[in-house]
Structure 1
């Protein structure tokens, strides 16, 4: 709404396994979210602070209940966010926008089906997975590969690294490169993560995941997210890691994925991919968006 020419937006701060979001209701208020405004909202020093900005809108697809859009902390709009999807359905129910359960959400690449259970946890049917380089805008020309079970690993040469880093490629609407490591806590995610994220072979950048296998149903995971940096959890990253581990012959469904922000539970059977985990409201507020942008 406008107040003496000031644009005041109502917002809700939410988190799913520590992956945090500013959620905006674009159904009952007019929201024009530019990259500059998204960056201002996500700024942890001068804004509200978030890994991503989530925008709930009326759907374009007649088969959807709502449209769900995701903007990374760097202002770029992306295809999917699993932890954000769980917060989305909790937000829609808590705000009284809909009582439907399950909900159908329209994202950039199709429809998601989301269900909130009586214990407050949310499960998301994550859609189809893909593994070919073209689905990740990845240039594999001339690159060395290795077979790993049903998977193919691609060796990425990184600046300053003597040996290539071997990655699984997984597309779950958004792109992921998953690397198996001995110890996620000891691995230099802060150095290797951004080098993979911005590797020249990924035309649209990539989310870089680092997975440690604990047993056939349990992994640890850290993810350096495209446009957000390392986050406490990444829902699509957890799905990508579980799927990559199963394809490599290292894991069996279901898989518990331990992140710094909490546990996520993934099921995959070649056809359906489902994620279950928490979603919580932190606080509500109002922001004068243009004053916030001007103050940075």
Structure 2
């Protein structure tokens, strides 16, 4: 496949995590960054190749400028994930993207990672560990926080969100992972399906950095098997289930959002209160993701990472 997009890099790998899709390329020495306009041209789904974002793999030691330099100072993290949204805007993190990033490094021969092992990846959110789980990957996305603090968590909301398809604004809870998120609960899946996310939801107060907006329907809980390293079932556990649609800043509606799935699980767990599950299945239009609460307010995201082909630009 060839697409007439002007860019200094000509070969990309297309990958996705539950439908959240990316164009990835290796730039070990940091010599071939893309401009905002080049990213937007490549990511355009009509006149470019099409993607929710572009990911550049740069050796951490090659990062020399700005806030990204701090992420490159961790000696255990050989690679820096330079993630940019489809419109060319920089994002703090991408939960689906970091899993696809590690799959890309393995595919490109830049990383050897045995099943069960963890690699440290430098990101704008700091250095994060990604563990291989067969064809899937699990990423510790670090510490989450609520901009509204304990008062917002106790009240259950600290923002108001209006969206086409709902007659009136709904309360939302803001969470940072560290990407900014605002999570809104709906009554049922029918209400979720009629939302019109072709336009950005209106969030009040308007967030200074923008925000991803997650609309969620809690679906209760289910019993799932606990499987050991040999594949044998050794017990069962209770996990929560939630369904989600998301409007991503700088992109629009996407089939999935990894940090958004974590925000959705965290918000619903908070609304359920004491005794809520510590593990969640988040159903998104592109598939299912698994979210697990870790000590010290860390959160882990697990799910697939698929590489679908190599794309060459003219």
Provide the C-alpha distance between the structure 2 equivalents of 1:76 and 1:54, rounded to a whole number of angstroms: 12
Contact persistence 1:10–1:24 (CA under 8 A): yes
Alpha-carbon shift at residue 183 of structure 1 (Å): 2.6
1:22-41 correspondence runs (5 A)? 22-27=23-28, 30-41=31-42
Q: Does 1:260 align with 2:285?
A: yes
Alpha-carbon shift at residue 105 of structure 1 (Å): 1.0
| Number of corresponding residues | 271
Contact persistence 1:239–1:275 (CA under 8 A): yes
Q: Does 1:123 align with 2:138?
A: yes
Alpha-carbon shift at residue 282 of structure 1 (Å): 0.8
Aligned to 2:94: 81
Provide the C-alpha distance between the structure 1 equivalents of 2:310 and 2:85, rounded to a whole number of angstroms: 20
Provide the C-alpha distance between the structure 1 equivalents of 2:246 and 2:128, rounded to a whole number of angstroms: 22
Per the alignment, in what secondary structure is the counterpart of residue 190 of structure 1?
coil
Aligned to 1:56: 57
In the superposition, relative to structure 1, how do residues 157 and 225 fare at CA in structure 2: closer, same or farther (>3 Å)?
closer
What are the superposed Cα offsets for residues 22-47 of structure 1, whole Å, 9 maximum, x if unpaired? 01111178322111011011011111
1:227-246 correspondence runs (5 A)? 227-246=250-269
Provide the C-alpha distance between the structure 2 equivalents of 1:147 and 1:228, rounded to a whole number of angstroms: 27
Per the alignment, in what secondary structure is the counterpart of residue 33 of structure 1?
coil
In the superposition, relative to structure 1, how do residues 193 and 256 fare at CA in structure 2: closer, same or farther (>3 Å)?
farther
Provide the C-alpha distance between the structure 2 equivalents of 1:284 and 1:233, rounded to a whole number of angstroms: 22
Provide the C-alpha distance between the structure 2 equivalents of 1:156 and 1:192, rounded to a whole number of angstroms: 19
Contact persistence 1:151–1:168 (CA under 8 A): no
More divergent stretch after superposition (187-196 vs 161-170): 187-196
Structure 2 runs not aligned, ≥5 long: 1-5, 61-71, 222-239
Aligned to 1:291: none
What's the TM-score, normalizing by structure 1?
Answer: 0.83
More divergent stretch after superposition (264-273 vs 71-80): 264-273
Contact persistence 1:65–1:103 (CA under 8 A): no
Aligned to 1:280: 306
What's the TM-score, normalizing by structure 2?
Answer: 0.79
Alpha-carbon shift at residue 109 of structure 1 (Å): 2.2
Alpha-carbon shift at residue 249 of structure 1 (Å): 1.8
In the superposition, relative to structure 1, how do residues 28 and 108 fare at CA in structure 2: closer, same or farther (>3 Å)?
closer
Alpha-carbon shift at residue 157 of structure 1 (Å): 6.1
Per the alignment, in what secondary structure is the counterpart of residue 189 of structure 1?
coil
In the superposition, relative to structure 1, how do residues 88 and 185 fare at CA in structure 2: closer, same or farther (>3 Å)?
farther
Contact persistence 1:120–1:278 (CA under 8 A): yes
Aligned to 1:43: 44
In the superposition, relative to structure 1, how do residues 9 and 255 fare at CA in structure 2: closer, same or farther (>3 Å)?
same
The counterpart of 2:210, out of the listed 205, 214, 218, is 205
In the superposition, relative to structure 1, how do residues 286 and 146 fare at CA in structure 2: closer, same or farther (>3 Å)?
same
